[in-house]
Amino acid sequence: MPQPFYSNILITGGTGSFGSQAVRTIVERYEPKRLVVFSRDELKQYEMSQRLTGEKYKCVRYFLGDIRDLERLNLAFRDVNLVIHAAALKQVPAAEYNPFECIKTNILGSQNVINAALNNNVDKVLALSTDKAVNPLNLYGATKLCSDKLFVNANVYAGNKPTKFSVVRYGNVIGSRGSVIPLFLRKRAEGRLPITDPRMTRFWITLDQGVAFVLSCIMNMRGGEIFVPKIPSMKIIDLARALAPECELDIVGIRPGEKLHETMIPQGESRNTYDMGSYYVILPSFDFIKDVKDNYLSGKPVPDDFEYNSLDNKDWLSIEQLKEISSLQ
């Protein structure tokens, strides 16, 4: 028997790395009545439809559109109970070179998602964020910080409407498009791997873990929270050694807009952060939803000087663990 879940679901950016995995997981676990894949690339939608075949995937609908187009979103969101917002421009160099385009998608597109959800009385909207949204150094991170603020505070605009908005924030996803693993595998044949800085650390999560965490947050969310999973850190140089121990390493320097270490919860947000065991939750500063804090009374407030970053993390992946994880991608 399928587990109870939302019957009509829409995923923006549904043909991306996260979206594709989420579609498979939701269909296999919950058997929704309708699952709408909303994206702007007809080729990716066609290729996805060829992969996801069979009776159980007949609930999947493919809806061409861009989150920059509010009118199209309003059509797509009709009779939808749940929206998972995964659409974004996320390549850092491309965003630096094309800042207006990044802003149109990541900020104005997010505003359109919020408005379309309110217009159609969607029950819940969960937006995907990134560690780069914390103390951002690049435009991509800055747009995602703005997007996070929009979704948290969209609960104010909901008023008496049923729609609730929350955010999930996590780090680098193993095997996603733009991951460093494919680059290292290509360079391995040349016998040399480019390393930005041997001290660099990153949070690391698999696609399966990311999807599972998002789905659990959907069930728990009350509106206004930012959910942060407890995940391990790894050193970029250890990943290089795990994938290609025989290669020489070229230190090429940190790229513009890149950090040495990433942060998912800054110290300034510690006063609103609760440790829930397997994850942290950052509660909204505004009390616009009365029962939000009551939902997390079982959690423990973190210390005032708390910060969750990839350098001071207590959980680390070894070279052997990185070898095992990378081999599965």
**Rounded to whole angstroms, what are the CA distances from 233 to 139, 200, 226, 250?**
24, 10, 20, 22
Length of the chain: 329
Task: Quickly count: other Cβ atoms within 10 Å of residue 287's Cβ.
Answer: 10
The string of DSSP codes covering 205-223 is EEHHHHHHHHHHHHHH--S
Task: Give the SS3 label for residue 219.
Answer: helix
Contact 196, 254 (CB under 8 A): yes
Nearest Cα residue to 57 out of 85, 25, 83, 79: 25
Amino acid at 286: F
Task: Quickly count: other Cβ atoms within 10 Å of residue 273's Cβ.
Answer: 24
Verify whether residue 161 is a known catalytic residue: no
Rounded Cα distance, 149 and 284, in Å:
10
**Rounded to whole angstroms, what are the CA distances from 257 to 91, 92, 132, 162?**
11, 8, 10, 39
- Helices within the chain (DSSP H only): 17-30, 42-51, 70-76, 92-97, 99-103, 109-119, 139-158, 180-188, 207-220, 236-243, 319-327
- The catalytic position among 44, 104, 124, 132 is 132
Contact 87, 45 (CB under 8 A): no
The angle formed by the CA atoms of residues 254, 259 and 264, to the nearest 5 degrees, is 160
- Residues taking part in catalysis: 132
